[in-house]
């Protein structure tokens, strides 16, 4: 299963500090799933860290840093994973996710709704393998291009408002 992090918001700053936690809650993540971080290179990034650094939004010993977006991470082993955006104070503002990868199948849970327009303001370690966003999944299905384009446009519009 492909999980587009943040849904239609994508991986971008949001004024809602629980937006990404709320996105994670209904989902389950399984070995073989993919985390897709749709973000603009140079504006956002993805940093994988341990729980201590995740909680503190520090990057003294990052597991991996990804600066080129969009990013697709293959979840290849079970366990807890911690990711955040290391640009400016994005992590402190809530652009971060903690997930638990299980051996079972992943699920998107319920539909995740995007923020209302009035609310919108704005490499592979630890069991992950990074691939280009257009790479087909092992099942032969590819990530829908229109979804990434839509997420990219939302991220662009949000960044212009910042």
- Indicate the average pLDDT of the chain: 78
pLDDT tens for each residue of 127-160: 444 444 433 333 333 333 444 445 554 454 445 5
**d(C-alpha 22, C-alpha 16), whole Å:** 10
Instruction: Tell me the pLDDT band of 107, cut-offs 50, 70 and 90.
Output: confident
The domain made up of 2-161 has a fold known as Immunoglobulin-like (2.60.40)
pLDDT tens for each residue of 6-26: 999 999 999 999 999 999 999
pLDDT tens for each residue of 43-100: 999 999 999 999 999 999 999 999 999 999 999 999 999 999 999 999 999 999 999 9
Q: Pairing state of beta strands 96-102 and 29-30?
A: parallel
Alpha helices in the chain (DSSP H): 19-24, 51-56, 145-161
DSSP state of 13: -
Backbone angles phi, psi at 32, to 5 degrees: 100, -15
**d(C-alpha 17, C-alpha 122), whole Å:** 13
The model carries a pTM of: 0.68
Q: What angle do CA 118, 107, 31 make, to 5 degrees?
A: 125
């Amino acid at each position: 299963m492909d999980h587009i992090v943040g849904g239609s918001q994508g991986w971008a700053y949001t004024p809602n500090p629980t937006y990404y936690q709320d996105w994670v809650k209904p989902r389950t993540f399984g070995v073989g799933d993919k985390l897709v971080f749709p973000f603009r290179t140079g504006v956002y990034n993805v940093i994988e860290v341990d729980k201590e650094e995740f909680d503190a939004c520090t990057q003294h010993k990052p597991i991996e840093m990804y600066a080129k977006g969009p990013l697709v991470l293959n979840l290849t082993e079970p366990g807890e994973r911690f990711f955040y955006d290391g640009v400016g104070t994005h992590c402190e503002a809530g652009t971060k996710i903690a997930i638990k990868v299980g051996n079972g199948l992943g699920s998107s849970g319920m539909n995740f709704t995007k923020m209302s327009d009035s609310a919108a303001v704005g490499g592979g370690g630890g069991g992950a393998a990074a691939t280009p966003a257009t790479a087909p999944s092992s099942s032969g299905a590819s990530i829908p291009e229109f979804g990434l384009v839509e997420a990219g446009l939302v991220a662009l519009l949000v960044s212009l408002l910042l």
